[in-house]
Amino acid sequence: LMILSGYAGLSVFAGMFQPGNIIELHQQWLDNALKGVTYGSSRGGGNINLHGLLNDLGLNGWNLDISLVMIFVLGAWTFWHRKIDVWLQLGVAALVARFWTYHMWYDDLLILIPMFAIFRIMLQQKRDGKSALAAGILFGIAMLFSIAPGGLYLFPEPFNMIYVFCQKIIWHAMLFYLLFQSHVQRRDVNHPKHSEARHKPNAIIIRQKPKLR
């Protein structure tokens, strides 16, 4: 609510120095944004994004509607997981932003945020060998496929397309991994007793028998 209020206030203030009213300015901005998205995705701007997929399917007219749904789902997910580590929230949001609209290869800096979130998981779960190993492997592979300028421009065809396909798999794996870790952390926050029992080595839960009268 504070962010929306601040954005609305700044928009009204900036609109005071522009011709036309604030509604017309926002409509013009939205039209230009949709034209830019359509133009960029139709000319192969970036890869692995929702707008590019809609362009390939001939559904450019749905760009705004699908974008609003995607943002709403992300907002609902963030609210549902509001008590978890903020780096998990940022990691998921960064990947959703990367999959949302078209980006050039230098915009892949967004991937550093989920990579850092996975790196933190790897350090925090050293006691749990399997979880730390999974996070470490995923982080290492993501690091390997994040070397600039990326295989899309570094390798000749068809190897550059193979590289991009591998990137798609890795980034989706990162998203699913962070979603899973967010689910686990939210469960542990809401049920701390079960979390303590689950994390104790060789934990044995003893149920007391009811006393007979």
Per-residue pLDDT tens for 88-106? 999 999 999 988 877 777 7
Question: Is 17 within a domain?
Answer: no
User: Looking at residue 169, what is its pLDDT?
Assistant: 93
Question: Is 7 within a domain?
Answer: no
Q: Which residue has the higher pLDDT, 71 or 22?
A: 71
Q: Which residue has the higher pLDDT, 154 or 41?
A: 154
User: Looking at residue 148, what is its pLDDT?
Assistant: 64
Please list, in sequence order, all residues whose beta carbon lies within 8 angstroms of the beta carbon of residue 20, skipping any fewer than 6 positions away: 28
d(CA 112, CA 143): 9
Q: Compute CA distances 185 → 51, 54, 191, whole Å.
A: 32, 34, 10
The radius of gyration of the chain's CA atoms, rounded to the nearest angstrom, is 22
Question: Is 73 within a domain?
Answer: yes
Question: Is 201 within a domain?
Answer: no
Closest C-alpha to 118, from 133, 96, 129, 105: 133
Question: Is 16 within a domain?
Answer: no
Domain that holds residue 121: 40-192
Q: How many domains does the chain have?
A: 1
Question: Is 47 within a domain?
Answer: yes
Token reading at 188: 């542990």
Question: Is 208 within a domain?
Answer: no
User: Looking at residue 204, what is its pLDDT?
Assistant: 41
Token reading at 35: 């034209």
pLDDT band of 171, cuts 50, 70, 90: very high
Q: What is the mean pLDDT of the chain?
A: 80
Quickly tell me which residue has 């542990």 as its tokens.
188
Question: Is 57 within a domain?
Answer: yes
